Amino acid sequence: MNRKLYKVERNFMGKGYLSYSATAILQAVANGYQYGFDIMDMTGLPSGTVYPALRRLEDLGLVKSKWEKQSIAQADQRPPRKYYELTRGGEAALAEAVKRYRLLEQTPALKPSKPTSERG
Amino acid sequence: MSSSKRFVRRFANPARGLIYLIGIIVPQGLRRDWRQEWEAELQHREMMLSEWDNLNWRNKGELLKRSLGAFRDALLLQPQRLEDEMFQDVRFGVRRLLKTPGFTLIAVLTLALGIGATTAIFSVVNTVLLRPLPFKEPDRLVMVRETKFPQFSEFAVSPANFLDWQQQNTVFEQLVGVRPVTVNLTGTGDPERLNGATLTDGFGALLGVTPQLGRDFLSEENQVGRNNVVLLSHNLWQRRFGGEPDIINQKIILDGQPYTVVGVMPAGFKFLEWQSELWIPLAFTPQQAQNRGGHNISLVVGRLKPDITHEMARVEMSALASRLEMQYPEVNAGWNVILMPLLDATVRTIKPALLLLLAAVAFVLVIACVNVANLLLAKAAVRQREIAIRTALGAGRFRIIRQLLTESVLLAIVGGTAGLLLANWGLQLLLQLAPQDLPRVANVSLDARVLAFSAVITLLTGILFGLVPALHASKPNLQEPMKDASRGLTAGGNRQRMRSSLVVVEIAAALVLLVGAGLMLKSFWRLLQVDPGFAPEQALTMTVALPQNKYGDGTRQTAFFQQLLDNVKALPGVESVGAASHIPLDGNDSVVSYEVKGQPPAPPGSFTSANYFIIEGDYFGAMGIPLRKGRVFSEHDTKDAPLVVMINETFARKNFPDENPIGKSLNFDSADNPVYREIIGVVGDVKYYGLDREATQQLYFPASQEPERKMTLVARTAGDPLALTTAIRNQVHHLDKNQPVSDIKTLAQLVSTSIVSQRFSIWLLGIFATVALVLAAVGIYGVLSYVVAQRTHEIGIRMALGAGRREVFRLVVGHGMQLTMIGVVAGLSVAFVLTRLMATLLFNVSATDPLTYTLIGLLLVVVALLACYIPARRATRVDPLVALRHE
């Protein structure tokens, strides 16, 4: 078994299942919403929930973060943004959690909200 | 960019300004990334909004709302901040400790000594006093014995009373009588004498122990004629029978009788700390079952019913005893029962000594802590400037205390770890010194509870010795350190007082410990001076117990021993030889009640008793017991000659205060049918129960008139007594090749074994007291050295103004002695109160023995003087010119 996966399962056992909001955030990341603000737009959750949840998910090894390439940020004259991706453990945890929160399956796949975020 | 411009730019956008502000509470290690993430998001969103829509007030408000969420994000990162700072503290602490290796080493060693000694002693206390007995629900096990005479706090139980208890009580699930036995094992290999126990029905259920092999006794096996069955110890099974499983149902020969082995007990099984190697059912003949006057069941162990408390059981059993007293007034008058939890009964003899050692070692720990606290205070003085600067830069008092405490706890953890190693090592040493009969000593180990204990005391000591210096050093006083440093005079008066009072505490604690050790030492010395009443040097003893079936007849017993003594006497190197049913200090007990012819009988319920010995050959000569009056037994005192008895001086003094006892007669049978024995001689007293006990009344009977199966041989030798062991044993085997001998030891060993627990306590107390004395001396030295260093400037001025070396010397020594005297007075007062608690452990020494108090007080003063000397001398060498420049 993959080590990370094991860690996820242990955390599941130890801390109980992912909360609804954590699952929603994970789902949003899985659907390609990679930045904190986009995830807020997508899920409708406030920033005071999304950021701490992202940090916890990262500690659990369900998501990982990277800094945007300097060149892209420079072109926009702003600091590089931090974006989040699902890990393999995150995918497994999401699949598990979605079974519990059926409703989330109906979330649309990447559909640009008003302020389009650039990717890639 | 100027800072004002940067400020304006940063706060021109309220949302981003807010992120900057909130970032302050984010742990330092995360702060940069955290701010960047939030700022980048905000900037990007602003950009998008201004491109796509427009950055109107509504959108700006929305952004501000989002940035407020950062506050919650930052708050949730706080635990990491603590962790972060703790790491910082620990890192800093480690660096500081490594920077001053000398200080660290001394502090760690001091702590290791304190924590190690405490842990080692605690592990003994834990195993011996605290660990539950290894039986099912051990809290419900109770020892029951009878009690009547003030001189014996408790007594063995008579069979008839025991059987009545068993039938009539309502508080016990099981009640089992136990009587130790020794039997001779013959048939396979060398004959061997084995210790065992006989038990009434219900033994397995009582303890909740089942045999490892075979079965427990059946109820019907507690009947005479069916009780020739035996349970073996694991050790005996391995040792004598090669651990063969087919031992079950085999017959072995004990005392010449065949016994069927029904089971083997599990390895390590031990009951009542007796070194039993086998267990046999205890069966009573109808006649024995009626015996109410002969108390010969050594003790009774019961298992309380689940809801019954000890108190309820005590009340019930007392009521039962009163009923039996009324029912059988002639034999049961005055007899009551005594109950005690089995664990307490097992450890009661050693408990006071162990608690004393634990208290002593706690004193060592306190002294160690005080010493390290003193070192830390001295160090804090050096660091005062550093702390002042950190405070000036905004460090809170809590932050500084935390930093200092982290350092001291760090020190304690290193000290504690070293202490644990020391404890592990010290424990081996301790167990070698420990008396072999110390209950449960074989199981002493560092278990989880001991580790938890030492972890707790480690942390506590870390906080204890760290807190005072930390509180002190962190006082928010920014000016004094600067002033102190510039003045260089008797600086930091407050801290000085603190250090001085710590030294006083240390001296007082050391004194209490030394007084305790001194009293024990004096008590032990008194014990060594005790005349046991016999000459322990150059005498060998060994026990020969003849089996009942082969030597049941008294004539055969006497013949065997007479022949043996004659043969041994003929051996080269043997000066004199005798034998006795038992010898002093061997742990046996024999009591007989008597009546003096011509004196009124003792009132009913009271009891005149004496210890008795049945002797053979030149017992008094071999033991070195002097004859005071009359004659000793001779070959003419045969079975058919008039019955005779010898008494000791105490017996003579008690019963014939102003008369010559020779020619008087004693009766040992019932008053209605007296059989008188004439007193023919008086010998010196011997210490029977222990060197620290009064000599009892003692009687001697000749074996020819009162034959005995089990005798202990005593041979006085010209050379090394142990060299004759084989020769004497061969003489026994020459007479009977199946006859084992046991308990081979010299009389000197017997005496030395009888005081082994006192010796054990003395050794440990002595070590602790020495450590305490050294630590206290180091403490005084440390403080005075520091004072002299601090006062160099002042001393220089004094000398420049005309003070001589002598005055300076007196100044420094005076200061040290002032502290010492306060400590000594405080210590003596505390010792005066505390040593009363150890009064029961002392022999012939009062707990407030003035000589010990005076000598110990003087000893501490002398040691303190020595500790003052070096700093004082250093002070007299101060060169005023150098001192005045001294900063």
Per residue in B285-322, pLDDT tens?
Answer: 888 888 887 888 888 999 999 989 999 999 999 999 99
Above 80 in pLDDT, residue B689?
Answer: yes
pLDDT at res. A115: 43
Encoding tokens for residue B86?
């703790």
- Tell me the C-alpha distance between B226 and B553, whole Å: 24
**A116/chain B closest Cα distance in angstroms:** 8
Q: Cβ A115–B48 below 8 Å, yes or no? A: yes
CB-based contacts of B716, cutoff 8 Å, min separation 6: B535, B538, B539, B574, B575, B576, B577, B621, B622, B623, B624
Q: Which residues of B295-331 are buried (b: 16+ CB within 10 A; e: fewer)?
A: bebbbbbbbbeeebeeeebbebbeebbeebbeebeee
Bigger pLDDT: B203 vs A102: B203
Is there a contact between B368 and B505 (Cβ–Cβ < 8 Å)?
no
Encoding tokens for residue B313?
């059981």
Q: Which residues of A have a CB under 8 Å from any CB of B?
A: 35-37, 40, 46-52, 55, 68, 73, 76, 78-82, 114-117
Above 50 in pLDDT, residue A33?
Answer: yes
Residues shown for chain A: 120
**B-chain residues within 8 Å CB-CB of A117?**
44, 48
Residues shown for chain B: 887
Above 50 in pLDDT, residue B497?
Answer: yes
Q: Cβ A78–B43 below 8 Å, yes or no? A: yes
Q: Which of the listed ranges B2-16, B781-795, B829-843 does the model predict with the highest average pLDDT?
A: B829-843
**A81/chain B closest Cα distance in angstroms:** 5
Q: Cβ B72–A76 below 8 Å, yes or no? A: no
**A-chain residues within 8 Å CB-CB of B39?**
79
Encoding tokens for residue B741?
């001998």
Q: Which residue in B40, B69, B72 is closest to A79 by CB distance?
A: B40
Q: At what angle do helices B14-22 and B28-52 cross, to 10 degrees?
A: 170
**B-chain residues within 8 Å CB-CB of A116?**
48, 52
| Chain A residue with minimum CA distance to B78 | A52
Within a 10 A sphere around the Cβ of B873, how many other Cβ atoms?
15
Confidence of residue A105 (pLDDT cuts 50, 70, 90): low
Own/partner pairs, A10-18, CB within 8 angstroms, 24+ separation: A11/A60, A12/A93, A12/A96, A17/A96, A17/A97, A17/A100, A18/A93, A18/A97
Q: Cβ A116–B33 below 8 Å, yes or no? A: no
Average pLDDT of the residues of chain B: 86
- Tell me the C-alpha distance between B814 and B816, whole Å: 5
pLDDT at res. A28: 92
Q: Which residue in B40, B69, B72 is closest to A81 by CB distance?
A: B40
**B22/chain A closest Cα distance in angstroms:** 13
**B-chain residues within 8 Å CB-CB of A46?**
66, 69
Calculate mean pLDDT across residues B28-54: 85
pLDDT at res. A13: 38
**B-chain residues within 8 Å CB-CB of A81?**
37, 40-41, 44
Q: Which residue in A59, A69, A72, A78 has the most chain B C-beta atoms within 10 A of its own C-beta, making it the best mutation to test that interface?
A: A78
**B2/chain A closest Cα distance in angstroms:** 21
Q: Cβ B40–A40 below 8 Å, yes or no? A: no
The helix or strand, by DSSP H or E, that contains position B609, with its residue range, turns out to be strand B609-617
Paired with B702 in beta bridges are B615
Q: Is A44 left (phi over 0), alpha (psi -120 to 50) or beta?
A: left
Calculate mean pLDDT across residues A91-108: 71
Average pLDDT of the residues of chain A: 75
Q: Which of B224, B288, B279 is nearest to B254 (CA)?
A: B279
Q: Cβ A51–B71 below 8 Å, yes or no? A: no
**B-chain residues within 8 Å CB-CB of A82?**
33, 36-37, 40
pLDDT digits (tens, 9 = 90+) for B703-761: 999 898 889 999 999 989 999 999 999 999 999 888 888 889 999 998 988 888 788 88
Confidence of residue B541 (pLDDT cuts 50, 70, 90): very high
Q: Which residues of B have a CB under 8 Å from any CB of A?
A: 33, 36-37, 39-41, 43-45, 47-49, 52-53, 65-73, 76-77
Q: Which of B27, B92, B83 is nearest to B404 (CA)?
A: B92
The pLDDT > 70 percentage for chain B reads: 95
Encoding tokens for residue B809?
């010397």
- Which stretch of A14-18, B45-49, B469-473, B634-638 has the lowest confidence by average pLDDT? A14-18
pLDDT at res. A29: 92
Above 50 in pLDDT, residue B157?
Answer: yes
Q: Which residue in A49, A82, A116 is closest to B37 by CB distance?
A: A82
Residue at B440: amino acid letter: R
- What DSSP state is assigned to residue B796? H
Q: For chain A, how are helix, strand and coil distributed in percent, rounded to 5?
A: 60, 10, 35
**A-chain residues within 8 Å CB-CB of B49?**
115
Is there a contact between B540 and B724 (Cβ–Cβ < 8 Å)?
yes
- Tell me the C-alpha distance between B579 and B52, whole Å: 118
- Tell me the C-alpha distance between B165 and B287, whole Å: 18
Bigger pLDDT: B403 vs B488: B403
- What DSSP state is assigned to residue B199? E
pLDDT at res. A119: 37
**B-chain residues within 8 Å CB-CB of A41?**
none
Above 50 in pLDDT, residue A114?
Answer: no
The pLDDT > 90 percentage for chain B reads: 29
Calculate mean pLDDT across residues B872-884: 79
Confidence of residue A118 (pLDDT cuts 50, 70, 90): very low
Confidence of residue A56 (pLDDT cuts 50, 70, 90): confident
Above 90 in pLDDT, residue A116?
Answer: no
Q: Which residue in B41, B48, B52 is closest to A36 by CB distance?
A: B41
Number of CB pairs < 8 Å for A and B?
Answer: 70
Q: At what angle do helices B493-529 and B805-834 cross, to 10 degrees?
A: 60
Residue by residue, DSSP assigns B509-574 as HHHHHHHHHHHHHHHHHHHHH---SS--TTEEEEEEE--TTTS-SHHHHHHHHHHHHHHHHTSTTE
Q: Which of B134, B549, B633 is nearest to B342 (CA)?
A: B134
| Chain B residue with minimum CA distance to A37 | B41
**A-chain residues within 8 Å CB-CB of B47?**
76, 78
Relative to beta strand B251-254, strand B141-147 is unpaired
**A65/chain B closest Cα distance in angstroms:** 11
Q: Cβ A80–B40 below 8 Å, yes or no? A: yes
Confidence of residue B476 (pLDDT cuts 50, 70, 90): low
- Tell me the C-alpha distance between B695 and B668, whole Å: 21
pLDDT digits (tens, 9 = 90+) for B48-106: 888 876 778 888 888 888 888 888 888 888 777 677 777 778 888 888 888 888 888 88
Q: Cβ B48–A117 below 8 Å, yes or no? A: yes
| Chain A residue with minimum CA distance to B64 | A47
Above 60 in pLDDT, residue B118?
Answer: yes
| Chain A residue with minimum CA distance to B65 | A47
pLDDT at res. B182: 84
| Chain A residue with minimum CA distance to B36 | A79
- Which stretch of B445-454, B529-538, B602-611 has the lowest confidence by average pLDDT? B602-611
| Chain A residue with minimum CA distance to B52 | A115
Q: Which of A54, A64, A53, A39 is nearest to B45 (CA)?
A: A39
**B92/chain A closest Cα distance in angstroms:** 27
Q: What angle do CA A75, A77, A79 make, to 5 degrees?
A: 105
- Tell me the C-alpha distance between B477 and B484, whole Å: 12
Confidence of residue B151 (pLDDT cuts 50, 70, 90): low
**A1/chain B closest Cα distance in angstroms:** 30
Q: Cβ A46–B49 below 8 Å, yes or no? A: no
Q: Cβ B40–A78 below 8 Å, yes or no? A: yes
Q: Cβ B45–A37 below 8 Å, yes or no? A: yes
Q: Cβ B69–A48 below 8 Å, yes or no? A: yes
H-assigned helices in B126-248: 159-168, 203-207, 234-241
Confidence of residue A113 (pLDDT cuts 50, 70, 90): very low
| Chain A residue with minimum CA distance to B66 | A47
Q: Which residue in B44, B53, B66 is closest to A78 by CB distance?
A: B44
